[in-house]
């Protein structure tokens, strides 16, 4: 009689690891998926994500675990030492963690009751607390957000939050230098230069459902499935002729075949959207293959190039990703789950695409070491990747 094949869940990580952000107990880059270690039971994980050099996991019970680069206290562990395995973040009296978003050297935490905490560097006001605080290794309450928050997003040096009433707030001066240079002699609007949460104007006629951030641009997805964009457009990521948008501008639905957007994701300078029919569109910077468009054409115009690499300044459908159930963006690479299989593409200098090489990948391809796994969750940091997988007990495709 055949024995029963039991399933188990394993968190795999790969890519850049100079600060231990893979949670594997060492600091060597990994070009193929390997198991993470530390104080977590993978079966209980419900969210995985990362930042410039750190990683975060949220469990089903609402606990937060962190690892990686910590020189500014971005792990929220009350110290600034590097951590190479996942460790619980003590959030006494804060209840369950609902969401976490990791910036370059800071983290923004959303609790189940709608409060926002932040830790790490505050050099650009990205924590949304007193400007007199240079950094904090303990999560600080962002007190000036006076109503429950429903989503948060951390950019390179700025942050966003959407509230229960559908408003969007922004803080951190990470976009201010871009704006000052391009808008001069006009003044920089308050929401681009504030070190505490400031209401983003121009969205009073819509209800925000979610906020997303790139390195120097901002995104709002509304409850009606519209996408609003503002900030830097250096690489065509805002689908505009302007180099900088101070106020949110709606993405024309006709560019997405007239469909409502259900999900939006962003790398540092590229965007990915999924529409109601399951179509996936990408646009923005494409110099590392992060748009996944190589073999189907990019419909680029002759002037769609910059000194820093090629761009695609309008959405193009990636047909290989139709029906993707999950998508995650790193700085210049991506992961997606299609048909239960995990795909990767884009920048691969540190092995974050997981194919064993360090060569950039210009179109979505399956991650070889996880072909036998059922992928439950995916997440990315700037230069690393993570996947929670269910494996049959007698099949372990990556050790």
Confidence category of residue 131, pLDDT binned at 50, 70, 90: confident
Interatomic CA distance for residues 261 and 267, integer angstroms: 17
Structure token pair of residue 142: 């962002």
301 has a pLDDT exceeding 90: no
Q: Of the candidates 141, 204, 126, 211, which has an alpha carbon nearest to the alpha carbon of residue 171?
A: 126
Interatomic CA distance for residues 329 and 94, integer angstroms: 28
7-392 CATH: 2.130.10.30
Interatomic CA distance for residues 246 and 308, integer angstroms: 23
Confidence category of residue 225, pLDDT binned at 50, 70, 90: very high
pLDDT digits (tens, 9 = 90+) for 7-42: 578 999 999 999 999 999 999 999 999 999 866 666
pLDDT of residue 95: 86
Q: Of the candidates 239, 166, 155, 222, which has an alpha carbon nearest to the alpha carbon of residue 192?
A: 155
pLDDT of residue 9: 87
pLDDT of residue 302: 33
Let me know: does 352 contact 9? Beta carbons within 8 Å.
no
pLDDT of residue 39: 63
Identify the three-state secondary structure at position 39.
Answer: coil
Structure token pair of residue 8: 């188990």
Interatomic CA distance for residues 158 and 100, integer angstroms: 14
pLDDT digits (tens, 9 = 90+) for 245-277: 999 999 999 999 999 999 999 999 999 999 999
Average pLDDT over residues 303-310: 44
* Domain coordinates in residue numbering, the chain: 7-392
pLDDT digits (tens, 9 = 90+) for 177-223: 889 888 888 899 999 999 999 999 999 999 999 999 999 999 999 99
Instruction: Transcribe 48-61 into DSSP letters.
Output: EEE-SSEEEEEETT
pLDDT of residue 310: 87
pLDDT digits (tens, 9 = 90+) for 115-129: 999 999 999 999 999
What letters, b where the CB count within 10 A reaches 16 and e where it falls short, cover 228-242? bbbbbbbbbbbbeee
Confidence category of residue 307, pLDDT binned at 50, 70, 90: very low
Q: How far is CA 351 from CA 37, 194, 384, in A?
A: 19, 37, 8
Q: Of the candidates 56, 45, 52, which has an alpha carbon nearest to the alpha carbon of residue 350?
A: 52
Burial label for 304, CB within 10 Å (0-12, 13-18, 19+), is middle
- Residue 272: CB atoms within 10 A of its CB come to 27
Sheet holding 374-380, edge to edge: 30-35, 7-15, 384-392, 374-380
């Amino acid at each position: 009689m055949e024995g029963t094949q039991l399933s188990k869940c394993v968190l795999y990580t790969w890519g850049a690891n100079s600060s231990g952000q893979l949670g594997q107990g060492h600091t060597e880059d990994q070009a193929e998926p390997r198991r993470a270690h530390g104080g977590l039971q993978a079966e209980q994980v419900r969210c995985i994500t990362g930042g410039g050099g750190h990683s975060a996991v949220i469990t089903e019970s609402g606990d937060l675990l962190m690892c990686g680069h910590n020189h500014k206290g971005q792990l929220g562990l009350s110290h600034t030492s590097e951590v190479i395995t996942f460790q619980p973040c003590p959030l006494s009296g804060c209840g369950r963690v609902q969401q976490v978003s990791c910036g370059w050297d800071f983290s923004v935490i959303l609790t189940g009751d709608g409060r926002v905490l932040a830790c790490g560097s505050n050099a650009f006001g990205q924590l949304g607390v007193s400007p007199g605080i240079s950094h904090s290794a303990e999560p600080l309450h962002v007190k000036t957000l006076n109503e429950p928050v429903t989503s948060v997003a951390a950019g390179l040096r700025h942050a966003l939050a959407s509230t229960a009433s559908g408003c969007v707030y922004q803080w951190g001066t990470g976009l201010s230098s871009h704006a000052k240079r391009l808008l001069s002699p006009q003044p920089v609007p308050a929401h681009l230069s504030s070190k505490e949460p400031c209401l983003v104007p121009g969205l009073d006629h819509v209800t925000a459902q979610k906020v997303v951030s790139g390195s120097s641009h901002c995104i709002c997805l509304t409850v009606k499935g519209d996408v609003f964009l503002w900030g830097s457009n250096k690489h065509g990521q805002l689908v505009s002729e302007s180099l900088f948008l101070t106020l949110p501008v709606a993405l024309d639905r006709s560019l997405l075949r007239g469909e409502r957007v259900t999900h939006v994701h962003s790398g540092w300078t590229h965007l990915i959207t999924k529409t109601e029919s399951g179509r996936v569109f990408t646009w923005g910077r494409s110099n590392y293959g992060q748009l996944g468009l190589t073999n189907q054409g990019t419909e680029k115009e002759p002037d769609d190039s910059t000194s820093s690499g090629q761009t695609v300044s309008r959405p193009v459908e990636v047909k290989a990703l139709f029906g993707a159930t999950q998508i995650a963006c790193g700085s210049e690479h991506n992961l997606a789950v299609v048909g239960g299989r995990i795909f990767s593409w884009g920048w691969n200098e540190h092995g974050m695409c997981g194919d064993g090489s360090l060569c950039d990948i210009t179109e979505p391809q399956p991650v070889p070491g996880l072909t036998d796994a059922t992928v439950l969750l995916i997440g990315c940091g700037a230069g690393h990747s993570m996947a929670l997988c269910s494996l049959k007990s007698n099949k372990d495709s990556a050790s």
